[in-house]
A and B are shown apart, each in its own frame.
Chain A
Amino acid sequence: MKPAFDTLLVANRGEIAVRIIRAARELGLRTVAVFSDADAGSLPTRLADQAVPIGPAQAGKSYLNVAALLNAARSVGAGAIHPGYGFLSENAAFAEAVTAAGLVFVGPGAAAIRTMGDKAAARLAAQRAGVATVPGSAGAVDGIEEALRIAGDIGYPVLIKASAGGGGRGIHIAGDASELRQELGRAQAQAKAAFGDAAVYLERFIRQARHIEVQILGDGKRVVHCFERECSLQRRRQKIWEEAPCAAIDAATRQALCDSALALARAVDYSGAGTLEYLYDEDTRAFFFIEMNTRIQVEHPVTEMVTGVDLVKEMLRIALGEPLRLQQSDIALRGAAIEVRINAENPARNFMPCPGTLSSLQVPGGPGVRFDSMLFPGCRVPAFYDSLLAKLIVHDENRPAALARLERALDELGTEGLTTTQGLHQKLVRDPQVRAGQLHTGFLEAWLAAHPM
């Protein structure tokens, strides 16, 4: 059978564009990178078979410019577009536009993006599939009276979350009824301004929880899971350190968690790679679905390390029209993996962004070490995009061994000319509580307050 496409356009930049180009080339596909003026000469443009300019530095005029991306795809004869993460990756209208242009969108269909991308709709879908959600409103809340009644039922403090939000954005906290009166209108107005949709919903605020997520792969007919990741180390709701598996759950909890993810993914006939995010309450061993990401995630490599499954290649195979090759029994958990994000930020100055030029680079190596990055000596890190430079990922037979390997690999990394979060990770990896795996989503901010950099 003739494959659905032989040329892939990567509608992204940075390390994820590099990752996708590598996977596509290994599958024998021709690869096309796109770049803004600020990314001319970047690593993805060097590694792809072809590179096409798509506009000025501002993302709105380049990486978020649907017409420019479709024109680029047409000009090079691309048959498919991989959106990566961020930018247009969870934009249902973009997925539709790609399909309408006769191209394959590497990801789920627009309907699944729309349902699971709307956080209130995703909660409803989860409840219908029998998956526990954080106690909260059944869907979007309209007026303050309805909000007060629901908040009274679920108990304060409550989170007011934008239905169209995500990645930790669009979240307000109300500690009591008077704060809810103040914050509801503000949250709706900000949701409207930030996401073009004023809808918000309420959730109980769980103070000490772990953030655990389940990786799934589907082909529209069948779904498998690739176990869970622990992503509790976050600052301002941005993950900086991720692990697989989660050291805090037992086999029975893991099974129940992964089964619930499968049930929800099946309910929406999911196709492609996706992640279901949960909060896990260690005291009660209860887990609650919070949202789904309908794309490949930054932290996917830890799952690849412990399962041996190449998630990006599997995404591409599904997009090529192949049925899912993996049975659930093919996917086993082996050892432990940790990823740390090397960001162009200064931890000593409140994580101020630090764009610049890399003068020299020493990449960590040796057994069980993987370095996914956009860096090369002399590369410029522009100010216009997110601060992720590289992901250092280690794998070993168990968590203590992986921690030792991470400590060693972090000490090998050298990035002259740039200020990065490497030093933060060097401290975290040596911290007794981190080593003991005593993590929760509030851990890092409290730790930073107690350990000034």
Chain B
Amino acid sequence: MPQIEVLSPLPGIFYRQAAPDAPPYVTEGSRVRVGDVLGLIEVMKQFSEVSAEVDGAVLRFAVGNGDAVEPGQTLLFIETP
């Protein structure tokens, strides 16, 4: 099955959840549909959502919660049917 890399559009900090005590948006194995929020990138104290551009299942994350990321860096992999 093909894998799609989800890339960071921005430099900043990647978060898997909306707030420190909120559950993660998705975990490995989560089914996702186009438009589903996968995580947040914080750039200069502003938060941008990273959304799925394909339907599929989250295979694995390439970065951890709270990691610094660069534009174009792989955040996670989605397996598409």
Contact = CB atoms under 8 A, between A and B. Distances in A.
B39 interface: no
Interface string A401-421: 000000000000000000000
A355 B66 contact: no
Contact of A57 (B10, B19, B21, B68): B68
Contacts of B19: 190, 193-194
Nearest to B44: A353
B46 A353 contact: yes
A353 B12 CA distance: 10
Interface string B41-55: 001111000000000
A344 interface: yes
Interface in A319-365: 344-345, 352-353, 355
A355 B13 contact: no
B44 A386 contact: yes
A27 interface: no
Contacts of B68: 38, 56-58, 384
B66 A386 contact: no
B23 interface: no
Contact of B45 (A57, A58, A382, A387): A387
B22 A193 contact: yes
Nearest to A86: B45
Contact of B44 (A57, A60, A192, A383): A383
A326 to B, nearest CB: 35
Main secondary structure of the interface of B (DSSP, over half): loop
Interface string B6-29: 000011110000011110000000
Contacts of A355: 11, 43-44
Contact of B20 (A56, A193, A345, A382): A193
A385 interface: yes
A387 B44 contact: yes
Contacts of A353: 43-46
Interface in A45-79: 56-58, 60
B20 to A, nearest CB: 7
Contacts of B20: 193
Interface residues of A, number: 20
A383 B66 contact: no
A383 B22 contact: no
Contacts of B12: 383-384
Contacts of B13: 57-58, 383-384
A387 B12 CA distance: 12
B66 to A, nearest CB: 6
A240 B66 CA distance: 29
A355 to B, nearest CB: 6
Contacts of A58: 13, 66, 68
A143 to B, nearest CB: 22
A352 B11 CA distance: 12
Contacts of A382: 11
A58 B68 CA distance: 7
A343 to B, nearest CB: 8
B27 to A, nearest CB: 20
A323 B13 CA distance: 44
Nearest to A192: B21
A392 to B, nearest CB: 19
Nearest to A61: B66
Interface in B29-73: 43-46, 66, 68
A56 B13 CA distance: 12
A386 B68 CA distance: 15
B64 to A, nearest CB: 11
A385 B44 contact: yes
Given A57-B68, A385-B44, A386-B45, 19 more contacts: A38-B68, A56-B68, A57-B13, A58-B66, A58-B68, A60-B66, A192-B21, A193-B19, A193-B21, A193-B22, A353-B46, A355-B43, A382-B11, A383-B11, A383-B12, A383-B43, A383-B44, A384-B44, A384-B68
Interface of B: 10-13, 19-22, 43-46, 66, 68
20 contacts: A56-B68, A58-B66, A60-B66, A190-B19, A194-B19, A344-B44, A345-B44, A352-B46, A353-B44, A353-B45, A353-B46, A355-B11, A355-B43, A382-B11, A383-B44, A384-B12, A384-B13, A385-B45, A386-B45, A387-B44
Among all A-B residue pairs, the 3 with the closest Cβ atoms: A353-B44, A383-B11, A193-B19
